[in-house]
Structure 1
Amino acid sequence: MTTIHPALLPRNISKLPFSLQRVARNVISQGSWISGTISSITIHQLSAVAAEQTLGLLPVIYALLDPSLIPSLDTPTKVLCGLSSAMMTWSFLETSLRAPTFPRAASAELWPRLWAWMEFFSLYSEDVIDASQAALFFRSVLQVVINPVSTRLLD
């Protein structure tokens, strides 16, 4: 039986403000931040959530970094949507990593998923219209995941 770190369990969505808990559950069920039911206003609300509260997004981050969600190159639209969703996921992960109470033990389970998406990004970034922005997200999250202590010292 495989167990995951408790911080990655869906019950932790309850750490989010009540108004965003349903959104987080919908994102998990849809497998993407990019959908008709998630408005830019909601994304803005989530972006404004304090680092401590973004820990409630860890189950969403874990679910959306599932390597089985990596799109095939058969449909360019799916690739762009997948990369957009991954970049948003990386952004929320970076914010969560900066929270003083981020459970470092959960990194061990997030890393393989993040790595699979980073490999996908590195292989296909030439096909992305805005590869430079995606590269910035990629680098910033990679730096925080690999070396969280030195990153905190720079803040």
Structure 2
Amino acid sequence: MTTIHPALLPRNISKLPFSLQRVVRIAMSQGSWIGSGASGTAIQQLGAMSPEQTLGLLPAIYVLLDPSSIPSLDTPAKVLCGLSSAMMTWSFLETSLRAPTFPRAASAELWPRLWAWMEFFSLYSEDVIDASQAALFFRSVLQVVINPVSTRLLD
């Protein structure tokens, strides 16, 4: 039987501001931040959260970095959505890591998931774009995350 680190349990979402709890639960149930309402005000609220509140994102980070949700390279729209969601998740993880109360023991369960996504991005960037365009690719994915109108183009 495998046990999960207590910081990664869904009950910890209750540490988030109430307005974010709904968004996080939707993202977890859909397996993506895209379409969950995470863009806009939810991302802006992140900067105002206390370190303890930020740790309420760890359950979502754990779920959304699940390697089984890495898209196949033969579906470009899903790849962009998957990478957009993963990049947002990485950003939230980076913010969480800055919290002085970040449970270092939980990282043992997070890092294998993070590495699987990083490996996917590495393969994607090698197969689809050359290294000189990697920065442009990151900007375009970030644009999809920031601008919810862009996500409609992927449907």
Q: Shorter-chain TM-score category? A: 0.7 to 0.9
Unpaired runs of at least 5, structure 2: 140-155
1:131 matched to 2:147: no
> Does the 8 A contact of 2:26 with 2:36 survive in 1?
no
The answer as to whether partners of 2:51 and 2:101 remain within 8 angstroms in 1 is no
> Contact 1:52 / 1:99 at 8 angstroms: preserved in 2?
yes
Aligned to 1:26: 26
- Using the TM superposition, name which of 16-25 and 92-101 deviates more: 16-25
**Structure-2 separation of matches of 1:39 and 1:98:** 22
1:56 corresponds to 2:56: yes
Q: Is the 2:23–2:38 Cα contact (8 Å) retained in structure 1?
A: yes
C-alpha separation in 1, matches of 2:129 and 2:45: 27
Instruction: State the Cα deviation string for residues 26-80 of structure 1 (Å, max 9, x = none).
Output: 1100111111644422232235423331100000000000001100012101101
| Aligned equivalent of 1:116 | 116
Give how far 1:12 is off.
0.3
CA distance in 2, matches of 1:47, 1:30: 24
Alignment of 1:25-104 (within 5 A): 25-35=25-35, 37-104=37-104
The one-letter amino acid paired with 1:131 is A
Question: Please, what TM-score do these two structures have when normalized by structure 1?
Answer: 0.79
Matches of 1:17 and 1:54, distance apart in 2: 9
Specify the SS of the correspondent of 1:33.
coil
Structure 1 segments unaligned to the other structure (5+ residues): 136-155
Q: Which moved more, 1:15-24 or 1:29-38?
A: 29-38
TM-score (norm 2): 0.79
Distance 2:129 2:63 in 1: 23
Amino acid at match of 2:45: Q
Question: Equivalents in 2 of 1:119, 1:62: separation in Å?
Answer: 17
Change (3 A) 1:101 1:85: same
* Percent of paired sites with the same residue: 79
Structure 1 stretches of 4+ with a deviation exceeding 6 A read: none
